[in-house]
Structure formats: structure tokens, C-alpha cells
């Protein structure tokens, strides 16, 4: 089955929202490593939706991070704070998934939660404005 660009964008935005919902459940159950993972993926899906819309390609997580910084942060489409947030989430997710004895506190997770929601909303707004 073939999907349109719009179908893929909508699907990835749905995945971003779902990851945010999962992050709430995980946070509320003190599963902070998994919360960080879901917060990262909420951004990842929203950014990848934007890239599909713009016909940009990124084949790895590092490639997506680099392209995000180049295409969205350096152009001013998202702010420097959002750029730092995604770079921080990238590092947090790497640590949470691949390092031993990594822990995050409720306070650390609670601090970045609204920032992640704002970044996803910003990307949704950009997609709405730039929709074909």
C-alpha cells in the first residue's frame, strides 16, 4: 500500500502525541528512564514528520539531530532553547538506553516535560503553516 506524504506526516504527529501520552503514564509511575525515552521519541517523530513534509532525509538518530540543528535551529524556525532541548534529550536517551546505573529524578523529568510539549506544538504549527 502506498501512502501520501500527508498521510505519513499525520501518522508521525500521532506517534509524537502518543509518545507524550506514554511519557505521562511512565512519569506518574516513577519510570523515569522510560519517560526520557518517550519524551525523546515524541520530538523525534515530530521532527521526522517535518522532514517528510520538507522532503528532507535523515537516516540515523545522529543524522536527524544534525539536520534538525541545520534546518530548524540555524534557520530560526525553532529557537536555540528548543535546539538545546533536543540535543539534551538525544544525550539523555542515549544514556538511559545504553549506560549502566543511569537515573533521572522526578524533578529532572518534570522540568523538561513542558518544554518537550512546547517543541512538539511548535513543530505541529510549522507543519500546519507549511502544508502543501
Range list of H helices, 54-105:
61-68, 80-98
- What residue spans define the domains of the chain? 5-130
How crowded is residue 97: how many other Cβ atoms within 10 Å of its Cβ? 13
pLDDT given at position 96: 92
Residue 71: C-alpha distances to residues 11, 49, 83, 87, 97 (Å): 21, 13, 11, 14, 27
CATH hierarchy code of domain 5-130 = 1.20.120.330
* Residue 124, pLDDT above cutoff 90: yes
Q: What is the mean pLDDT of residues 11-15?
A: 97
* Residue 91, pLDDT above cutoff 70: yes
Q: What is the mean pLDDT of residues 60-81?
A: 96
* Residue 85, pLDDT above cutoff 70: yes
pLDDT given at position 93: 95
Amino acid at each position: 500500500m502506498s501512502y501520501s506524504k500527508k498521510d505519513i506526516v499525520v501518522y508521525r504527529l500521532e506517534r509524537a502525541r502518543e509518545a507524550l501520552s506514554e511519557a505521562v503514564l511512565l512519569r506518574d509511575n516513577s519510570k523515569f528512564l522510560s519517560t526520557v525515552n518517550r519524551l525523546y521519541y515524541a520530538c523525534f517523530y515530530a521532527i521526522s514528520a517535518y522532514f517528510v513534509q520538507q522532503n528532507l532525509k535523515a537516516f540515523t538518530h545522529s543524522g536527524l539531530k544534525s539536520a534538525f540543528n541545520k534546518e530548524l535551529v540555524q534557520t530560526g524556525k525553532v529557537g536555540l532553547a528548543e535546539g538545546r532541548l533536543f540535543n539534551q534529550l538525544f544525550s539523555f536517551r542515549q544514556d538511559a538506553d545504553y549506560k549502566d546505573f543511569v537515573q533521572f529524578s522526578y524533578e529532572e523529568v518534570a522540568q523538561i516535560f513542558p518544554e518537550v510539549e512546547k517543541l512538539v506544538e511548535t513543530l505541529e504549527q510549522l507543519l500546519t503553516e507549511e502544508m502543501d
